[in-house]
Structure 1
């Protein structure tokens, strides 16, 4: 694998290890919507629009946030390997798919290798089950708030029971709106795969066709909404992560902040999952913004707690599927121009 992964600034095996960490980032429906291009000067991160969710994420906002998460993992893995990762966001305004370029500089052994964050990358899970009925200390929440701020985002915990209940109602309302849309259900069903597929929402192979048919056919919004409302009400922590603006660069910052928060939370024994329905459904996002009383834009709604059990990692595609060198991209572009 490493024979095709080369840059002048970093050994191929080391770069392969860094990229293996990058692709462990979370993404909507586990779509893994990223591509990496290797050149002599470093790594370029591209959005893979073929893996977009046009109904669930019409502006590619969550797609870009997912790529930001992958970029943060890349930075941490590089630091652990002894390299500074110098990132430039949106380096070419004319290429909307090129989200970031990264170059690497070796650092001395005395530098911070980000060991805790690096080790958390492989342990992070999207924990959709109930959490232990145990409160999260306020000093831990302060750590998460500082983590988001480090990456240029904000992190706000919903403290009052009234606010938490209102958020739970928005989540249920979002579920009802999404499930009532046949196009949304078809899109969800299309990403329900057996684990061997390497992406998507894992469904046992024998029942996958039936599960897909049920999701496509039936509006289960009321049942799903009731379950999510209960999850929200019972979660020890509900928090929003947001940014001052709402453009592509803000979304990339939100992704990096999200992954830093998730990895730092693991160091405190926490896991997290998402309640993003009030942000995904456009008419509900202003209501959430008003509830938060924050001048910025909520990008992610999270629930945190102490996991009651261990979960397996979500499947991932092979590096060969997401990595190419600059020569290969140039050839593809030339072939496309001839059509």
Structure 2
């Protein structure tokens, strides 16, 4: 089973939970859904500490990405997505809860403390998203040329707003072309940096089986003319910015909708909220058979972040940029064993 951890983790089924299970058993089972959240480079930078009817979410800074994410912004966003999955699973299991964000002024790694409320009320809006958690997948292939209905776009915007984020849906061809140009420019900037290439290569190494990213999608390998065993070493050694820029430009052109998630502030609290908004948006989309992948490069390159903000006419701060559409169901990313992320 260790050779195929994605099979172990993603095949979770709530029927495996005894209906008469106690609170702590339900809480621990819910964490099997929490860890299915997305994370940058699939680093899975979270750690949960269970104590009776409480669970504490901590950031695992050992799994940080110091080059692409020097302030741990995307790390905390990833933890926010995991927290949202936990909320959804607990609501499905009929457990109400109270959450205290950043409960320890002495330890910045402690992001949230969740306590089960025995007489509380569950959030009825969360349980319908439960079945989408194991269905959600990041799709790096081209999407079907199919318009995303305005009604669904409004639901995505409302999903993000419920978690305190601003959601901008960009389907206009001119805007998408402008964003594609920014993404290509960011690709060029990132791949010029040998530190970025080394960091990226370390997370798509073929020996990684419990975390990290697949060795690019088949479409990208064709465009870059790379064989799977060579991907890691080639990325580490050569500046592939032009190839990646062309690849991502083509992906954006073939994507019916781009979605930006933004927040009013740009601090740890805002990043945690952005992560919860991200997962609520992704699960809402997955319930409609819609998937997404990330094009965060113009946000990761500091000099382009304000340009992106202006292009989208945003008053808030962009945190994530997604392309959204209907695509082929790809394989799930691997997951670390639960014993490594829960104590």
CA distance in 2, matches of 1:109, 1:195: 45
- Say which of 82, 87, 112 aligns to 1:75: 87
Deviations 1:166-220 (A, max 9, x none): 100000001101111100000011111447621001349xx76632211110111
The residue aligned with 1:270 is 290
Corresponding position: 1:26 with 2:38: yes
CA distance in 2, matches of 1:78, 1:176: 43
> What secondary structure, in the 3-state scheme, does the structure 2 residue paired with 1:38 have?
strand
- 8 Å Cα contact 1:195-1:315 kept in structure 2: no
Corresponding position: 1:151 with 2:170: no
For residues 1-339 of structure 1, what are the structure 2 equivalents within 5 Å? 11-106=23-118, 112=124, 114-194=126-206, 197-203=209-215, 210-307=230-327, 309-324=328-343
Does the C-alpha gap of structure 1 residues 228 and 11 become closer, same or farther in structure 2, counting only changes over 3 Å? same
The residue aligned with 1:328 is none
The residue aligned with 1:333 is none
CA distance in 1, matches of 2:290, 2:83: 22
Once the two structures are overlaid, the 10-residue window that deviates more, 11-20 or 223-232, is 11-20
* TM-score (norm: length of structure 1): 0.88
**Per-residue deviation at 1:234?**
1.6
The unaligned stretches of length 5 or more in structure 1 are 1-8, 325-339
CA distance in 1, matches of 2:286, 2:258: 16
- 8 Å Cα contact 1:179-1:220 kept in structure 2: yes
**Per-residue deviation at 1:87?**
1.2
**Per-residue deviation at 1:157?**
1.3
**Per-residue deviation at 1:269?**
1.6
- 8 Å Cα contact 2:191-2:197 kept in structure 1: yes
**Per-residue deviation at 1:21?**
0.3
* TM-score (norm: length of structure 2): 0.87
**Per-residue deviation at 1:294?**
1.3
> What secondary structure, in the 3-state scheme, does the structure 2 residue paired with 1:284 have?
helix
RMSD: 2.0
The residue aligned with 1:331 is none
- 8 Å Cα contact 2:289-2:326 kept in structure 1: yes
Does the C-alpha gap of structure 1 residues 110 and 317 become closer, same or farther in structure 2, counting only changes over 3 Å? closer
> What secondary structure, in the 3-state scheme, does the structure 2 residue paired with 1:155 have?
strand
- 8 Å Cα contact 1:76-1:114 kept in structure 2: yes
The unaligned stretches of length 5 or more in structure 2 are 1-20, 217-226
Does the C-alpha gap of structure 1 residues 208 and 236 become closer, same or farther in structure 2, counting only changes over 3 Å? closer
